[in-house]
Structure 1
Amino acid sequence: MKTVTIIGAGKIGKMAAHFLAHTKEYAVRCVDAHEGSWRSAVDGLPNTTGSTVDFSNGAQLDAALKGAWAVISCAPFACNRLIAERAKAAGTHYLDLTEDVAVTKDVMALAQGASTAFIPQCGLAPGYITIAANHLAAPMSEIHELRCRVGALPQFPSNQLKYNLTWSTAGLVNEYCNPCEALVDGKITLLPPLENLEEFTIHGTQYEAFNTSGGLGSLGESLAGKARNVNYKTIRYPGHCKLMKFLLQDLGFIDRREDLCDVFERAIPTTQDDVIVTVCVAIGIENGKLVEKTDARRIPACEIDGKHWTGIQITTAAGVCAVLDLLRDGKIPAKGVVRMEDIRYEDFMANRFGARYAV
């Protein structure tokens, strides 16, 4: 039985601990800076222990990683540099969920010369969406356009933003503020966030999508020279982007991100009734013809093992747990940087956790 340390016992860490513990194939250690969080996460789970760890304390991280085969970082993205560093020192496989571009580049640099795998960005977006988009485009001899769209949305929006908090508020604000990598005319380009607004309808529901940072992962870089345009946008209900521009640009919260996080956490309710919407579109030449292929999915909150879990918990934790299984089973490299586009779609979807996306 392989030991896996989960760092961060918030929404996603709790779901990941539940998934892995119930396989009865992993011994799970769940650690958090707050005792109440890890105790809630491990309550009733088989083969699972917990402890209190300061994510900024290298010695405490070393203790949490001692003897662990792998670590999954569900911690705030700013903590991942140190966690990855200590994982390398411990000879422990490293996986994370971050969408932050700068942190991911640092993690990839750390992977140089490592004896274990470093697998950043393996949640929902980047993560599953990268694998799905790459799969759509793979048969094409020429890739003209590859679009990745993802949204974590309330099923029953009731405020002006038409939004509820479902994941890390700091991560949300971060992706609204940072430059957005894209492949434009075959070249890696940085685009401004909240721009290139588009609208579309799926099964009678209208959505909008706009540039946000980090969701593309390394896919643009991997397809440079092979594709013309590759981009990522966040999905919201219509009107959200305009209000976010007002807050960030007109009111200046782009320079006061912590204050905006405080405002959001004070004024915007969380919800247990969310839905994940994913859309991948590939346009290009396949078998000598210009074709367009679309993969659209809708994954709502639901009950698993008698407990209610949100869509963002299910999809994000399913992504990283599936990748962990594939690593254990030898279906992805066990050394150095592993990118999401290195993972076969068929292997991911056939996995017991990846199957959560098969809706």
Structure 2
Amino acid sequence: MTRSINEVRVVGLGKVGELVATLLADSGFSVTAYDARERSDLPFATKSLDVRDARALRDALTDADAVVSCLPFNLNLGVAEAAFEVGVHYFDLTEDVPTTNRVLELSAQNPSHVMAPQCGLAPGLIGIIGSSLTKKFTDIRSIELKVGALPRHPSGLLGYAFNWSSEGVVNEYLNDCEVLRSGHRQMVPAMTEHERVVIGGIELEASLTSGGLGTMCETYEGRAQRLDYKTMRYPGHFELMRFFFDELGLRERRELAGEILVNAKPPTNDDVVYLHAAVEGVQNGQLFRENYVRAYQPLDINGRSWRAISWTTAASAVAVVELVAEGRLPQSGFIKQEDIPFEALLSTKNGVRFAEEGKV
């Protein structure tokens, strides 16, 4: 099959970016990866790059078909604008709403190439799954989406480890959350609407956090009565986080908050990603609830063990690139994650991992 994408640039070689580049190379793409520091230990071409240098960034994308940005949320926009100017397909993993809004603006100005932000886990995979469940309903009462990336063997009262960007975690805990209530979009405070969740006998708690829905509120406004995204943690976590941010006065000192939290709860390789999507509504003339629940563990890829949060994020993003390359998704314009068919994603080389792993 002739692909529309062959040459791919990956920008950012953190734990997720390194695996994104690895999976793309394994899937037959020609990969060149860029990072701020030199890397010579990887099975694909690498170069150093200062992503804040707009000209150097544009030069790096010249002759590419696509770029996948695996940078922190505050650096993605520069890559998106460079991709727009050079004219290459753009993919990222961001949960940042202003970044996504700007990508949407760029796509509207010149929809000649694909602009597909939010290709990670949440937003990303969880929205694809939730949207797929709605197809079985003639009337949608609620869409409930939840993800928890946690240590399998937690210690301490917080029961957490920062296997993901501390800046991203702090933002999702503090930024207001877009939801649907009575069919209409509205903003509500994060770390509210607390509930108990049990997955495979493991008791968790869930509260509203920002960014996990991507563009879904706009898509489902007027179609679903209720829609929200919640983050799952071990019991007691959110009460302690509210104390940390509010009573210790760290709500307005986000950078310091992130430093303290990572120092207290550093990353661990022994993690688990819990995923819970549920839709309620009318199915075959009757009120019904459909659930999709998974618990993803670390996975061996090419003889190396990868954290659950790393491989689930990377595999979802690369599966979307595969679908565009194979012509199974639009070849231009803005792609919403909820418009990606879950069955199509599961049929890709990397998406099939989600069908094979994580059953509870």
TM-score normalised by structure 2 residue count: 0.95
Q: Deviations over 1:301-330 (max 9, x none)?
A: 122111010001110000110000000011
Count of matched residue positions in the alignment of Structure 1 and Structure 2: 351
> What's the counterpart of residue 21 of structure 2?
17
Q: Give, in whole Å, the separation in 1 of the partners of 2:193 and 2:250.
A: 21
> What's the counterpart of residue 9 of structure 2?
5
**Structure 2 residues without counterparts, runs of 5 or longer:** none
Contact 1:65 1:71 in 2 (8 A): yes
Which of the numbers 275, 278, 292 marks the counterpart of 2:289? 292
Q: Which amino acid aligns with 1:211?
A: L
> What's the counterpart of residue 251 of structure 2?
254
Q: Which amino acid aligns with 1:230?
A: L
Q: Does 1:57 align with 2:41?
A: no
Q: Which amino acid aligns with 1:13?
A: G
Q: Give, in whole Å, the separation in 2 of the partners of 1:312 and 1:10.
A: 12
Q: Does 1:313 align with 2:310?
A: yes
Q: Give the 4+ runs in structure 1 shifted more than 4 A.
A: none
Secondary structure (helix, strand or coil) at the match of 1:254 reads: coil
Q: Deviations over 1:251-309 (max 9, x none)?
A: 12110000011112222121001111000010000111100010000101122111010
Q: Does 1:68 align with 2:68?
A: no
Q: Does 1:331 align with 2:328?
A: yes
Q: Which amino acid aligns with 2:57?
A: L
Q: How does 1:106-121 map to 2 (within 5 A)?
A: 106-112=102-108, 113-121=110-118
Q: How does 1:201-240 map to 2 (within 5 A)?
A: 201-240=198-237
Q: Does 1:81 align with 2:77?
A: yes
Q: Give, in whole Å, the separation in 2 of the partners of 1:165 and 1:151.
A: 12
Q: Which amino acid aligns with 1:140?
A: F
Identity %: 39
Residue 139 of structure 1, CA deviation: 2.1
**Structure 1 residues without counterparts, runs of 5 or longer:** none
Q: How does 1:52-201 map to 2 (within 5 A)?
A: 52-112=48-108, 113-201=110-198
Q: Which amino acid aligns with 2:34?
A: V
Q: Give, in whole Å, the separation in 2 of the partners of 1:155 and 1:256.
A: 30
Q: Deviations over 1:192-231 (max 9, x none)?
A: 0111110121111100000110001111110111110010
Q: Give, in whole Å, the separation in 2 of the partners of 1:263 and 1:350.
A: 42
> What's the counterpart of residue 30 of structure 1?
33
Q: Deviations over 1:329-359 (max 9, x none)?
A: 1111111100011111110111111112112
What is the alpha-carbon root mean square deviation over aligned residues?
Answer: 1.1
Q: Give, in whole Å, the separation in 2 of the partners of 1:270 and 1:280.
A: 26
Q: Give, in whole Å, the separation in 1 of the partners of 2:140 and 2:16.
A: 34
Q: Give, in whole Å, the separation in 1 of the partners of 2:35 and 2:167.
A: 17
Contact 1:128 1:319 in 2 (8 A): yes
TM-score normalised by structure 1 residue count: 0.96
Contact 2:163 2:266 in 1 (8 A): no
Secondary structure (helix, strand or coil) at the match of 2:251 reads: helix
